[in-house]
A and B are shown apart, each in its own frame.
Chain A
């Protein structure tokens, strides 16, 4: 009877609409056949307090975040548009590359004028750092280009000065950078060398008679490439070059070089070209730079570790270039740069650096650098944005009736649609905790933590950015045709964020480094017959967990089982990897080539480490919660995260951690969890704290947003 009534209502609507149109012949009235009902109206009331959950997820500086959202929403520069009765701010990606770059720079000026960057380089202490992160995250929710352009200036250019420079550099550049009196960029990557920085070909030769370094691009593959900010705006750059003194190569060093004058004209002996249009991030002016005998004063060498005396003596307490590099990095992690101007360097710092870098080699220079300075930029929010949009849409859009004459079914009421989106939502929760953890690790960094920071940030960077891209694609498809519209953000975000799997360390290279680091721990522990005590590998000291033959629903949801199975996978893969590498070495392969050919296990191991670390962080976050309703939903999400990982990673079946029976039980449980999380879906995306204006029209009244009356005739 209900269905008959429904049908009658719709028909009635058609007739009335028709009558209305003929009688007034004015604007078509807003009573469409399928009307939009806001999910807030149709969904059950939330079972937990959304603002407490937001506090937990965002973690810090909520007031600053909201302030910055306000600043952006209230300025015409951020392209506000009225759609379906709501204002949305989103960059106009239909602008040309030049226009996008121009408006990005104007937005930076606006933020600067309003004091957003105050203290970003001159502020001290963890509080200033957390505030900076919070603000950058908010900027990123608006536009990745804007965040990257700011990130390059403050964290690559500014960070290099801060950490690799000494007092004379700090005094001259930090405050000028914070106020954008100069614009910095960071010239490390070359056409011929990306992740392998030790192989770069740019040279810096010292001339004692003039007291200058002469910088040169000796060949085409040495041109600096992908340098963010170089194509249009940057006035200064950090150049990474091979330092030559009296014909001796002292390894890679960093130099400050001016590339444009205050009027924006390219300096003499510098050639700059554009990297051109990209699949995304067109608000960032990536450029290429050639140096033709560019002369810079001796003082422009960033000399925290090594210096060159006026008469051309290379001054460093450390002879080996790789070890020197290790020391170079030490101040990065001490939180403060305390080294005096010359190359005098305390033996203590050096020895710490040595012991911390048993696995380091020059090829890792960039990833080490980035892991400290820049990798928090993986704190990506596009998976949150896309999930919020796709889930809100799935709660208002219907498709197909499953009974004759019945109403069409909401997308998110289809179990298959739940299976597509809700596991990704659960992963997003786990990964948000992981990135908060990483931030804290960075803020409280110490020499003792550098290895952990490097390994964890490498693993999380790869895992999170891969998850991000996967989520974007799934959400795009889940929104159907609407996902293709630029105004709905998701499709565009794919292009904007794709670069994240590559910059700050190629994901695959990073994961290999994780495996290598784990192997180094393994070798060290076995050789000295000592227990594991770092990187969360302590579980290997205990006896090997046993997985029950018949897993029940409650076992599957227990942290005990979840922890066990992730630890089991990690320890077993680590054993296998060690065995495989040593087998190749026994056959006469070098250590390096043994790594290279063992890539399959290495890849599985990297994943296993990352998943286990993320799970443990999620469990800890859950344990710290006192509110029962929040604890409850976090438990569901954590179970979903683990079980869907068990389902998706073939390693569990391949190596027999799960029996086929147990794998079937896991699959069944995932479906059950989907239906249990479904009623909370709206609340769960509401906690992301992304204001409506930063979502998109299909997340709200998409009928009104597309109605005839909004068409500009």
Chain B
């Protein structure tokens, strides 16, 4: 039975349930807030590929155990691997993770992700690319990478750039947190279902016994509602977000915000400026460019580019901010990272270019995405 991809086990990082034609995968590292590890990624990838081949499977439901859907990639493990030896181990992890993201984005069967809790970074990567994303009142979404010296990866340059106006730049650069209602409003979620109806939803989906996206969508819609946005929601700020975050460079974005702040006292503006000033300058610059390029590219190209970027980050030749960020936020938790370069203007165009170029090192190659034929149109762009 070694070849059976559905082998079960309580210690598995992914739990698998089989209910009629549906498969329910549960991310199972509740103590680590279901942080996406190499093992979990590999397991999910095997499961997804096997289910695609298996004609008896019509639908995949993905959820998290405990209070998080997934708080992101297991970055501490990656940093540990790199500092102990070769950055290639980290590259291996990200490469596998991105391939999983790609398979999900081009998947031929519906994937319903139930986002009943924290969804951040790598957690967004394993859900947002799928066809259906169900938010609840417990959802908490963020792409916090710029505060960590990284950048929104896992295909975020694809899905963030497809949010309305320049909301994606805002979310990606500031690491702003969104609740379930906001996720629905901006399109990160396709549905909102109150958490007390989630088990009903699972049953209904299994009973639906269908791979037809229209049927699945109708099934979820029956239990879903449109929640009100909170009064101070970022979604009410679209005008100012578009005005400022559409600027060509990070420096111009910040000065546009500062001009707005000069006009009127506003807590939202000043906290937005604060989060930009706290983030790694290098991260901000490469993130902005990544989102801008991503808007004009397909998901495959986005992931190939992000892979170049993440490998450059891990090599640490241009900047070691990723390690410093992990130290300050995740390990020492002093929340006081010392970025290097420390100011935006010190991050030159040439430095930024390096992150987008091939890596000149023997044995390194661009991310080799699996060839996926017969991609259904609904799988190409979800947002």
Interface residues of A (CB under 8 A from B): 24, 26-27, 29-30, 35, 37-38, 40-42, 63-64, 66-67, 69-71, 73-75, 84-87, 113-115, 691-693, 701, 704-705, 707, 709
Known: A67-B248, A692-B298. A74 touches B378 (CB 8 A): no
- Whether the Cβ atoms of B377 and A70 lie closer than 8 Å is no
CB nearest to A703 among chain B residues: B377
Contacting residues, chain A, for B252 (C-beta < 8 A): 115
A601–B373 Cα distance when bound, in Å, is 55
Contacting residues, chain A, for B349 (C-beta < 8 A): 63
Known: A26-B212, A40-B300, A67-B292. A35 touches B374 (CB 8 A): yes
* B289 sits at the interface (CB 8 A): yes
Q: Mark B189-230, 1 if CB is under 8 A from A, else 0.
A: 000000000000000000000101011000000000000000
- Whether the Cβ atoms of A71 and B246 lie closer than 8 Å is yes
Contacting residues, chain A, for B242 (C-beta < 8 A): 74
* B341 sits at the interface (CB 8 A): no
Known: A41-B371, A41-B373, A701-B380. A693 touches B296 (CB 8 A): yes
17 extra A-B contacts, CB within 8 A, seeds A38-B375, A74-B165, A115-B248: A26-B212, A26-B215, A37-B374, A41-B371, A63-B248, A63-B289, A66-B293, A66-B296, A67-B248, A69-B296, A70-B246, A70-B292, A85-B378, A86-B380, A87-B381, A113-B243, A115-B252
For chain B residues 295-354, which have a beta carbon within 8 Å of chain A? 295-298, 300, 349
- Whether the Cβ atoms of B296 and A74 lie closer than 8 Å is no
- Whether the Cβ atoms of B373 and A37 lie closer than 8 Å is yes
- Whether the Cβ atoms of B298 and A41 lie closer than 8 Å is no
- Whether the Cβ atoms of B377 and A85 lie closer than 8 Å is yes
- Whether the Cβ atoms of B212 and A24 lie closer than 8 Å is yes
B289 → A minimal CB distance (Å) = 7
- Whether the Cβ atoms of B248 and A64 lie closer than 8 Å is yes
* B232 sits at the interface (CB 8 A): no
A64–B289 Cα distance when bound, in Å, is 11
- Whether the Cβ atoms of A70 and B295 lie closer than 8 Å is yes
Selected A-B contacts with CB under 8 Å, 22 pairs = A26-B214, A26-B215, A27-B212, A30-B376, A40-B300, A63-B248, A63-B292, A67-B292, A69-B295, A71-B246, A73-B295, A74-B166, A75-B165, A85-B377, A85-B378, A85-B379, A85-B380, A114-B246, A114-B247, A115-B252, A705-B377, A707-B377
A40–B379 Cα distance when bound, in Å, is 16
- Whether the Cβ atoms of A30 and B296 lie closer than 8 Å is no
Known: A114-B246, A692-B296. A30 touches B166 (CB 8 A): no
Across chains A and B, the number of contacting residue pairs, with CB separation under 8 Å, is: 79
* B372 sits at the interface (CB 8 A): yes
**Which single member of B210, B295, B377 contacts A30 (CB below 8 Å)?**
B377
Contacting residues, chain B, for A701 (C-beta < 8 A): 377, 380
Interface residues of B (CB under 8 A from A): 161, 164-166, 210, 212, 214-215, 242-243, 246-248, 252, 289, 292-293, 295-298, 300, 349, 371-381
A75–B212 Cα distance when bound, in Å, is 32
CB nearest to A40 among chain B residues: B300
A705–B165 Cα distance when bound, in Å, is 24
Contacting residues, chain B, for A73 (C-beta < 8 A): 295-296
A466–B298 Cα distance when bound, in Å, is 34
Contacting residues, chain A, for B374 (C-beta < 8 A): 35, 37
A67–B166 Cα distance when bound, in Å, is 12
Contacting residues, chain A, for B373 (C-beta < 8 A): 37, 41-42
- Whether the Cβ atoms of A86 and B381 lie closer than 8 Å is yes
Contacting residues, chain B, for A71 (C-beta < 8 A): 246
B152 → A minimal CB distance (Å) = 16
Q: Which of A70, A691, A701, A709 has the most CB of B within 10 A?
A: A70
Give the 3 A-B CB pairs with smallest separation, nearest first.
A704-B377, A85-B377, A691-B296
A505 → B minimal CB distance (Å) = 35
Contacting residues, chain A, for B165 (C-beta < 8 A): 74-75
Known: A85-B378, A692-B298, A704-B377. A74 touches B292 (CB 8 A): no
- Whether the Cβ atoms of A27 and B214 lie closer than 8 Å is yes
A590–B320 Cα distance when bound, in Å, is 78
A117 → B minimal CB distance (Å) = 13
- Whether the Cβ atoms of A85 and B295 lie closer than 8 Å is no
A40–B106 Cα distance when bound, in Å, is 14
A41–B214 Cα distance when bound, in Å, is 27
A707–B296 Cα distance when bound, in Å, is 25
A711–B247 Cα distance when bound, in Å, is 37
- Whether the Cβ atoms of B377 and A41 lie closer than 8 Å is no
Q: Which of B164, B246, B372, B378 has the most CB of A within 10 A?
A: B246
A693 → B minimal CB distance (Å) = 7
Q: Which of B164, B247, B372, B380 has the most CB of A within 10 A?
A: B380
Known: A26-B215, A86-B380. A115 touches B247 (CB 8 A): yes
A113–B378 Cα distance when bound, in Å, is 35
A87–B295 Cα distance when bound, in Å, is 11
B240 → A minimal CB distance (Å) = 13
A114–B292 Cα distance when bound, in Å, is 15
Contacting residues, chain B, for A40 (C-beta < 8 A): 298, 300
A86–B300 Cα distance when bound, in Å, is 14
A75–B243 Cα distance when bound, in Å, is 11
A709–B293 Cα distance when bound, in Å, is 31
Known: A64-B248, A701-B380. A41 touches B372 (CB 8 A): yes
B360 → A minimal CB distance (Å) = 13
A465–B130 Cα distance when bound, in Å, is 46
A707–B214 Cα distance when bound, in Å, is 14
- Whether the Cβ atoms of B292 and A66 lie closer than 8 Å is yes
A426 → B minimal CB distance (Å) = 26
Contacting residues, chain A, for B297 (C-beta < 8 A): 691-692
Known: A66-B292, A70-B292. A85 touches B214 (CB 8 A): no
A648–B236 Cα distance when bound, in Å, is 61
A82 → B minimal CB distance (Å) = 8
A571 → B minimal CB distance (Å) = 45
A42–B375 Cα distance when bound, in Å, is 12
A416 → B minimal CB distance (Å) = 28
A35–B247 Cα distance when bound, in Å, is 41
A243 → B minimal CB distance (Å) = 44
A115–B256 Cα distance when bound, in Å, is 11
A495 → B minimal CB distance (Å) = 27
Contacting residues, chain A, for B381 (C-beta < 8 A): 85-87
Contacting residues, chain A, for B295 (C-beta < 8 A): 69-70, 73-74, 691
Contacting residues, chain A, for B375 (C-beta < 8 A): 38, 41
CB nearest to A84 among chain B residues: B377
B78 → A minimal CB distance (Å) = 27
Contacting residues, chain B, for A707 (C-beta < 8 A): 377
A41–B370 Cα distance when bound, in Å, is 10
A707–B243 Cα distance when bound, in Å, is 37
Contacting residues, chain B, for A705 (C-beta < 8 A): 377
A634–B295 Cα distance when bound, in Å, is 29
A166–B379 Cα distance when bound, in Å, is 60
Contacting residues, chain A, for B164 (C-beta < 8 A): 74
A266–B239 Cα distance when bound, in Å, is 35
Contacting residues, chain A, for B377 (C-beta < 8 A): 30, 84-85, 701, 704-705, 707
A74–B291 Cα distance when bound, in Å, is 12
A544–B252 Cα distance when bound, in Å, is 59
CB nearest to B295 among chain A residues: A70
B295 → A minimal CB distance (Å) = 5
A319–B242 Cα distance when bound, in Å, is 57
Contacting residues, chain A, for B296 (C-beta < 8 A): 66, 69-70, 73, 691-693
A642 → B minimal CB distance (Å) = 33
Contacting residues, chain B, for A691 (C-beta < 8 A): 295-297
Contacting residues, chain B, for A41 (C-beta < 8 A): 371-373, 375
CB nearest to A113 among chain B residues: B243
B12 → A minimal CB distance (Å) = 33
A87–B248 Cα distance when bound, in Å, is 22
CB nearest to A29 among chain B residues: B212
Contacting residues, chain B, for A709 (C-beta < 8 A): 214
CB nearest to B245 among chain A residues: A74
